[in-house]
C-alpha cells in the first residue's frame, strides 16, 4: 500500500521503528512552514536549528534508501497551514494511506487528528516511541488528588525502572533526593570546560529564512552555529557532558555567575526534545558514570531526576490540563512585559545578564529562568501568558509541552498551586547568595527603599502583601507572612510606595 508518513520538526528519531525497514511504497514528508515559525516570535537559532536538523535527518534517511519528500520554506511561502501541504502531496502522488506520529503539542495534535478524520484516505497515528510514560499516566497516578507532587511521581518512576536502586529496592545512598546538597555558589573552581561543540556554517539556510521574511529575534550565529543538528553531534555532546561536566553538575546546578555562562549544565535538552537523543540512553549513561566511580551520586541523581522525574511529570501535567492551561492566571496579573525583555537593556544586572545571554545563545539554565526572569515576572505581576510566549520563543529547547507547565505552573504560579507547592519568589538576598551578579550591579541588593535599592526587595514584600487572600494560608510560605505582620505600618507603607513607583516606571528599571 502506497503510504505517506509525516515527520514533524521535533520528531527526528532515528531509532523509531518506522525506519527499520525500507519500503519503496513508503514515503516520508518533511515540511518547513510558516505555521510553525510564526505562532510565536522565535529566537533565530531555534528556527535555524530545527530547519537544519530536519534537513540533516531527511538526508540521512535518503542515504539509508528511504524515499523522502522535502518542502523547504522557499516552496511553502503562502499562508497555507500544514494540512494544505499534506493534502497537496497526498493528491499529487495518489497515496492510499496517511500516517503520522503523535505530536507533542496540543494544537498540532488537534489539527492532525481533525484532518485525519476528514480524509477519505485511510490514516493511522503511532506513538513517538520516545517518552517513558504515556500521555495520561501522570494524571492516573494523581487521580482524585489536589496536589500533584513531582517527588511522589519521581519515586514511582525510580522503582518501576530500577534506576539508582539497590538490591533491596531502596534508593542508593539512602535518600531519594539530594537537592539540598546541590546548591553551592560557584567561585571559579573547577574551571568551566571549554565549549567543545563543532562550529557549523548555516548561512545558506539563514538566507532562506530571511528571504522568506520570517520574523525572529536574537543572534542567529549562522556562521558559527553550535547546537546539534544531527544525532551524531548530539551523541558527542552526551559524551562530553558525562566526561567533563557531570561530576560537577550537582554542586553547581543552581549557581549563577558572570564568569561562566554554561558552567556544568548538559546542553542536551534541545537534542532530547527534538528526539535526536532518547531519554533512556541519557539516563543509562549517567547511571553508568556513577557505577564506574566517575561522578558522585549527588550529581547523577540530580541530573537523572530532571529527565526521569521532572521531564515526564511536566509532560503529564501538560496533557492533563490542555486545552486551557495557557490561559490560567490565578493571581490575576496583567502587567505587560517591559521592552527590555527583548534587549536586556536594564540596570538590574541579574536580569540584564540573563536576558542578553538568552538573546546571544538561545539558552539560560533553569535557575536563571526560574529565579531571575521568572522571579521578576511574578513579583512584578507580568501577564503569565505573555511570559509563557516569551519563554516559548526565546529558548531553543522550549516546546510547548515542556515549557508551558514550567512557566504557568512552576514559574508564575498561575495554576494556583497544582504543580508548585508555593510561589517561587525571592528578594535580592537569594540572588546575592547564589551569584556574583549583585557585586557590580547598579542597585544595592541590601536596600529596600531609595533610588538605588534593588527592585526585587520592595517588589518581594509587596507581592506577599497584595496576594494575602490567595497565599496567606500556604504553609510553605508562612514565615513570610509572620515577618510581614511584624513590620511597622510605616515601613510597609514605604515598601509598597517604592514598589508602586517601580512598577509605574518598569520600562526604565
pLDDT one-digit tens code per residue, 225-273: 999 999 999 999 999 999 999 999 999 999 999 999 999 999 999 999 9
pLDDT at 329 (0 to 100):
98
Confidence band for 424, pLDDT divided at 50, 70 and 90: very high
Cβ contacts of 376 within 8 Å, gap of 6 or more = 348, 351, 382, 455, 456, 459
Give dist(CA 192, CA 422) in Å, integer: 33
User: Distance between CA atoms of 382 and 377, rounded to whole angstroms?
Assistant: 5
pLDDT of 145: 87
CATH code linked to domain 3-126:
3.40.50.620
Three-state secondary structure call for residue 205: helix
CA distance 262 to 259: 9
Q: What is the mean pLDDT of residues 392-418?
A: 97
Torsion of CA 129, 9, 327, 481, to 10 degrees: 70
Q: Which of 190, 264, 252, 257 lies closest to 431 in space, CA to CA?
A: 257
Q: What is the mean pLDDT of residues 349-366?
A: 97
Residues of the chain within CATH 3.40.50.620 domain(s) are 3-126
| pLDDT for position 478 | 87
pLDDT digits (tens, 9 = 90+) for 487-508: 999 999 999 999 999 999 999 9
Give the number of other CB atoms < 10 A from CB of residue 262: 15
CB 234 within 8 A of CB 14: no
CB 126 within 8 A of CB 102: yes
Cα gap 67→92, rounded to integer Å:
15
Instruction: Work out the average pLDDT over 468-490.
Output: 92
DSSP 41: P
According to the model, what pLDDT value does residue 78 have? 80
Q: How many CB atoms lie within 10 A of CB 375?
A: 27
- Torsion, Cα 366 367 372 373, to 10 degrees, reads 10
Q: Residue written as cell 517513558?
A: 132
Is the pLDDT at 412 greater than 90? The verdict is: yes
Q: How far is Cα 197 from Cα 179, in angstroms, rounded to an integer?
A: 29
Sheet containing 123-126, strands listed edge to edge, beginning at the edge strand earlier in sequence: 67-71, 26-31, 3-6, 97-101, 123-126
Share of the chain above pLDDT 70, in %: 100
List the CATH code of the domain at 339-508. Answer: 1.10.579.10
Looking at the chain, which residues constitute the CATH 1.25.40.80 domain(s)?
137-202+227-321
- Model confidence at 179, pLDDT cuts 50, 70, 90, reads confident
The helix (run of H) or strand (run of E) holding residue 368 is helix 366-368
Query: For the residues 71-95, what does the mean pLDDT come to?
Result: 92
Q: Which CATH number describes the domain made up of 137-202+227-321?
A: 1.25.40.80
For the residues 461-481, what does the mean pLDDT come to? 93
- Give CA–CA dist 94/97, Å, rounded: 9
**Structure-model confidence comparison of residues 303 and 181, the more confident one:** 303
Residues of the chain with CATH 1.10.579.10: 339-508
Q: Is the pLDDT assigned to residue 79 strictly greater than 80?
A: no
**What's the predicted TM-score (pTM) here?**
0.95
Instruction: Record the cell numbers describing residue 496, joined without a space.
Output: 509598597
Amino acid at each position: 500500500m502506497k503510504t505517506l508518513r509525516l515527520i514533524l520538526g521535533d520528531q527526528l528519531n532515528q531509532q523509531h521503528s518506522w525506519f527499520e525497514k525500507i519500503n519503496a511504497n513508503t514515503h516520508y514528508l518533511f515540511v518547513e512552514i510558516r505555521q510553525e515559525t510564526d505562532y510565536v516570535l522565535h529566537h533565530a537559532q531555534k528556527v535555524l536549528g530545527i530547519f537544519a536538523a530536519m534537513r540533516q535527518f531527511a538526508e540521512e534517511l535518503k542515504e539509508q534508501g528511504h524515499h523522502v519528500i522535502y518542502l523547504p520554506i522557499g516552496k511553502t511561502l503562502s499562508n497555507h497551514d500544514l494540512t494544505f501541504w499534506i493534502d497537496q502531496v497526498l493528491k499529487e502522488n495518489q497515496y492510499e494511506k496517511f500516517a503520522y506520529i503523535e505530536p507533542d503539542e496540543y494544537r498540532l495534535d488537534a489539527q492532525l487528528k481533525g484532518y485525519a478524520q476528514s480524509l477519505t484516505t485511510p490514516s493511522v497515528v503511532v506513538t513517538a516511541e520516545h517518552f517513558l510514560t504515556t500521555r495520561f499516566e501522570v494524571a492516573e497516578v494523581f487521580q482524585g488528588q489536589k496536589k500533584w507532587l513531582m517527588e511522589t511521581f519521581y519515586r514511582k518512576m525510580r522503582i518501576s525502572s530500577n534506576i539508582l536502586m539497590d538490591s533491596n529496592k531502596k534508593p542508593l545512598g539512602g535518600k531519594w533526593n539530594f537537592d539540598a546538597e546541590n546548591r553551592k555558589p560557584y567561585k571559579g573552581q573547577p574551571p568551566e570546560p571549554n565549549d567543545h561543540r563543532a562550529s557549523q556554517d548555516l548561512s545558506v539556510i539563514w538566507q532562506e529564512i530571511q528571504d522568506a521574511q520570517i520574523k525572529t529575534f536574537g543572534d542567529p550565529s549562522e556562521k558559527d552555529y553550535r547546537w546539534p543538528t544531527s544525532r551524531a553531534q548530539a551523541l558527542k555532546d552526551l559524551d562530553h557532558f558525562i566526561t567533563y561536566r557531570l561530576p560537577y553538575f550537582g554542586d553547581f546546578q543552581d549557581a549563577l555567575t558572570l564568569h561562566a555562562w554554561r558552567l556544568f549544565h548538559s546542553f542536551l535538552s534541545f537534542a532530547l526534545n527534538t528526539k535526536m537523543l532518547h531519554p533512556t540512553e541519557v539516563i543509562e549513561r549517567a547511571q553508568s558514570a556513577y557505577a564506574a566511580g566517575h561522578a558522585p551520586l549527588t550529581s547523577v541523581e540530580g541530573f537523572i531526576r530532571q529527565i526521569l522525574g521532572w521531564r515526564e511529570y511536566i509532560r503529564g501535567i501538560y496533557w492533563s490540563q490542555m486545552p486551557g492551561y495557557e490561559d490560567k492566571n490565578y493571581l490575576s496579573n496583567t502587567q505587560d512585559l517591559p521592552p527590555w525583555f527583548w534587549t536586556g537593556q536594564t540596570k538590574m544586572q541579574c536580569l540584564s545578564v540573563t536576558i542578553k545571554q538568552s538573546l546571544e545563545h538561545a539558552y539560560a539554565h533553569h535557575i536563571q529562568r526560574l529565579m531571575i526572569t521568572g522571579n521578576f515576572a511574578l513579583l512584578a505581576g507580568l501577564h503569565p501568558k505573555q511570559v509563557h510566549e516569551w519563554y516559548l520563543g526565546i529558548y531553543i529547547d522550549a516546546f510547548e509541552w515542556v515549557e508551558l507547565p514550567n512557566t504557568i505552573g512552576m514559574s508564575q504560579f498561575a495554576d494556583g498551586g497544582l504543580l508548585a507547592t508555593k510561589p517561587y519568589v525571592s528578594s535580592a538576598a537569594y540572588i546575592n547568595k547564589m551569584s556574583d551578579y549583585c557585586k557590580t550591579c547598579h542597585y544595592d541588593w541590601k536596600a529596600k527603599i531609595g533610588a538605588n535599592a534593588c527592585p526585587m526587595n520592595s517588589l518581594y514584600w509587596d507581592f506577599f502583601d497584595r496576594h494575602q487572600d490567595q497565599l496567606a494560608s500556604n504553609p510553605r510560605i508562612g514565615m513570610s507572612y509572620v515577618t510581614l505582620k511584624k513590620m511597622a505600618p510605616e515601613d510597609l507603607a514605604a515598601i509598597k510606595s517604592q514598589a508602586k513607583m517601580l512598577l509605574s516606571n518598569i520600562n526604565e528599571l
